[in-house]
Amino acid sequence: MGCESSQPMVVSNAAKNEVDEQLERLQEEERTHYKILLLGPGEAGKSTVLKQLKCIYKGGIPLAEQRMHGLAIRRNTIQSMQAILEATVVLGIPLEGEAAAAAGRVLMLDEGTDLSPEIVQDVVLLWHNGGVRAAYGERHRYWLLDAAAYYFDNVERFGSESFAPNEEDMLMARARTSGINVTQIADGLHKFSVVDVGGQRSERRKWIHCFDDVKAIIFVVALSGYNQVLFEDTGVNRMHEGLQLFEEVVRNPIFENTPIFVFLNKKDLFEQMMTEGIPLTRCFPDYRPGAGCDASDVHQAVAEIERRFLDVIHRHSPRKNIHVHVIASRVRLEMKSAFSDVKDRIKEYYSQGQHANGSLQRQVSNRL
């Protein structure tokens, strides 16, 4: 009887050991698996960030996605020219002769139309027209894709039968993010799941479904947004929208102790706009550059934008961990450097248990 009574105990101990081992494995996985939420307003460059991560850590963009980006950039070209032509009407910029006829044909194209040799000819003609160029110069007054000039300069290549998108084309292609997209990145024993949700207002209601177990947030905002308007509402400045959205994220109690990495993106476009003489006062009328600098000084302007985001943290969550990177996400080395810092800081933060009482930290890299 003694033997009979001891057998269940042996089984029970074995089962208990197995459960303990499973729990230990799960705990270890939890310690080394980090969920990063990629947030920000529409057209801030979040999709470009993900494309670069795939190129850096996943061996490149999958073939199926390459084809998708190739089709997208051809449609982006038509969409961008249509936006400019519509603006010529609103702005009262006349088009005459061949340009007027070409404009009429392009404006009649249905959404989703692909490039044809005839459309390519019309786009080339229009892009060299003075009226179209004048409307392009007023692009801060209406919605237009950032890479419009790139599309028009390359339209003949895009329209060729042998066209296959190169890496720069794929980074420049724009397709609005819908739904939730997850990119898995392995880094030794550590795993990072980067979760991207569409930034347009209509997509933000889906964000709440991604809030569980978030280890860090990458908030992407375009520096160039100081001189641009929203796709959803052309009466709203993109930078203002980004600041308001950032404040909503910071004030959310769910993220009270969650590290936030702010990517001030598209510094290349920002530099270009500032060089063209478009001052930051267009977005922030109260901006006053430092002594000896004017309103179009690039370094001073970047510092001012950074200060405004840090002020949000100070007002609503003074103990929040925040790290700022000034980048152009289309530049591989800058993106790799920024995300390497994200990985290292997340691993350090959670390995030391700093999430229990985070403190404000400030790290600015990739200075202009």
Within 41-129, residue ranges assigned H as helices are 46-57, 63-91, 97-107, 117-127
Q: Which two tokens stand for residue 191?
A: 């795993």
d(CA 61, CA 72): 15
Task: Let me know: does 50 contact 192? Beta carbons within 8 Å.
Answer: no
Q: Judging by beta carbons within 10 Å of its beta carbon (0-12, 13-18, 19+), is residue 199 exposed, middle or buried?
A: buried
Choosing from 74, 75, 139, 174, the catalytic residue is 174
CA 322 to chain centre: 18
66 assigned to active site = no
Within 180-331, residue ranges assigned H as helices are 238-251, 267-275, 298-316
Fill in the amino acid letter for 10: V
Helix (H, G, I), strand (E, B) or coil at 214: coil
Place of tokens 């993900």: 50
Q: Which two tokens stand for residue 146?
A: 């950032």
| Closest residue by Cα to residue 226 from 241, 237, 235 | 237
Strands of the sheet with 260-265, listed across from one edge: 180-187, 190-197, 33-39, 216-222, 260-265, 322-326, 364-365
DSSP secondary structure string, 294-310? -TT-HHHHHHHHHHHHH
Choosing from 122, 196, 241, 334, the catalytic residue is 196
Choosing from 43, 146, 241, 268, the catalytic residue is 43
Place of tokens 């997340």: 346
d(CA 355, CA 368): 31
Fill in the amino acid letter for 6: S
20 assigned to active site = no
d(CA 323, CA 335): 15
d(CA 299, CA 264): 13
| Closest residue by Cα to residue 95 from 132, 128, 59, 127 | 132
196 assigned to active site = yes
**Dmax over Cα atoms in the chain, in whole Å?**
106
- Catalytic sites, residue numbers: 43, 48, 174, 196, 200
